[in-house]
Amino acid sequence: MKSMDLFVAPDEEMIEIYRLSGHRYPAPLAYKKENEKIEATLILDGIHRWSAYKECGFKKIEAKHWKMEPVDYETNKIALLLEGARCNLKHGDRLSPRDKKQIARDIATSDTECIYTEEALAEKLGVIRQTVNTWISDIRARQKAGRDIIIIRLNRLGWTQDQIGEVVGLSRNRISEIVGNANFSEIDTLLSQGREMDYIARHYHMDIPFALFLHLEGRTDQEKFKELGWGLRTWDQWNFNECDERFGDDWPGRIPAQLVAHTLFYFTNPGDLVLDPMAGGGVVSDVCLVFERRCESFDLAARDNRLEIKYHYWNLKDKDWPTTKKPDLIFFDPPYYSKKPPPPCISSYSKEEYEKFFKGFFLLAHKNAKETTRIAFLNADWRDFQSTPALKEPQNNSITIFDYHRILSETGWKVTHRIECPLSSERMTGNEVQKMQDKRILGTVGRSLLIARRVV
């Protein structure tokens, strides 16, 4: 908005009108901006009057304050926009219809919970409701579609209506109505017309996993594997070099959705509850949605586009388990041991701390599981092989799948299956491979999925 953006050059003609007006100008309206440790006073309304005062040689300029205490701009952005717009309806460089439209769209975009109605915005901007509706109807349509899809997604993942209502700010009855009235029957029609799934997802303002869920709902797991183009591995070696970009966010340590789907196929049934304690980019919850498993996901990096991933820090000293629900499967894909990432990532732990963490987690999981719960634990060998011939590798810091097997056995879990899920060797160039061979360096692409059942 013109009077709030001090980086946009003011209208020199308007400044000249104020400078030559020959009477005392109305006081500009200012507010104190607070951002972390930075505090400043900015003009909310009256940039041309303020500029005219300066050109007239005034050393002190009287100003009114919108609020006496400092305010955070992001938290109060909508209120500031509306107050500035209100002032510009009465004096100064009047807002053009284009200005008003932009303000309405900025507010609607920020107002994801639709607190500000078209009537309220129309009153503040000095236009009729129909005009505001024309300006922002596309934004509101996307928000409504996105909100309803979030609600249905959480419902299918096993959230209660009270839990969903608390997250999206709607009543239990309203949640029930949205879930009960959901209708996406056009999807099959669009597919029959040759439309691709990404087009359908954009058409309904949804993500691709949700569109796939709607398309494949009610089909058998085998039919879903076929429709997704994955094929179904029958043996205990699952070699997936590429991640399916349709599942999960682009995230460090992202795992193939095919690996998760195979785990669900062999070790769960539709409707079972899966717990993902370190969810990362959300691959597990996406796959659970399509394969009609319920899912509880937790991570340090909770974020707005992944409401199904709840924040949780695994402080094992407090023995804090984040849910009262007892899962059928715990799919545990933790950061692999590397001693590189900074805290609080467990990869930065010493070998002793790293093993202690897993021992504490497995004990806590055993306490909060049911008799039939299984753990699917995905991890890789770590050896200090960089620039070191195999015969000279230091052994004191290496952690292998045998160590994880031992820790599981010590904490009340019996390993029943070991499935090889090797990492791709293509991450190394031909020259790097040649140098390793010349120095007799033995690299590692080993990664294993251990399946363990709870021992009573």
Mean pLDDT by 10 residues, the chain (456 residues): 42 60 56 56 63 70 66 67 67 70 80 76 84 76 70 94 89 91 82 86 85 93 97 95 90 92 98 96 97 96 86 88 96 79 71 92 97 96 83 84 96 97 78 90 90 95
Report pLDDT for 5. Answer: 41
Please state at what angle helix 351-367 crosses helix 401-410, rounded to 10 degrees: 40
Domain end: 83, 117, 139, which one?
A: 139
Report pLDDT for 228. Answer: 96
Question: Which residues pair with residue 258 across a beta bridge?
Answer: none
**Residue at 327 is within a domain:** yes
DSSP letter at 417?
Answer: E
**Residue at 198 is within a domain:** no
**278 backbone dihedrals φ, ψ, rounded to 5°:** -135, 80
Q: How many CA atoms lie within 13 A of 184 on its CB side?
A: 23
Residues 280 and 399 grouped into a single domain:
yes
The token pair at 376 is: 């699917």
Give the pairing type, strands 329-332 and 374-380.
parallel
Supply the DSSP string of 379-412, one letter for each residue: EE-B---TT--GGG---TT-B-HHHHHHHHHHTT
Domain count across the chain: 2
Taking 3-state DSSP, the helix, strand and coil percentages for the chain, each rounded to the nearest 5, stand at 45, 15, 45
In this structure, is the dihedral angle defined by the CA atoms of residues 84, 89, 92 and 97, taken in order, positive or negative? positive
Whole-prediction pTM = 0.71
Other C-beta atoms lying within 10 Å of the C-beta of residue 27 = 16
Q: What is the CATH number of the domain that holds 430?
A: 3.40.50.150
Domain that holds residue 67: 12-139
Domain end: 89, 116, 139, which one?
A: 139
Give the pairing type, strands 309-311 and 329-332.
unpaired
Domain end: 70, 105, 139, which one?
A: 139
What is the edge-to-edge ordering of all strands in the sheet holding 374-380? 309-311, 294-299, 273-276, 329-332, 374-380, 447-454, 413-420
- Grouping H, G, I as helix, E, B as strand and the rest as coil, residue 340 is coil
151 near 143, Cβ under 8 Å? no
Report pLDDT for 24. Answer: 57
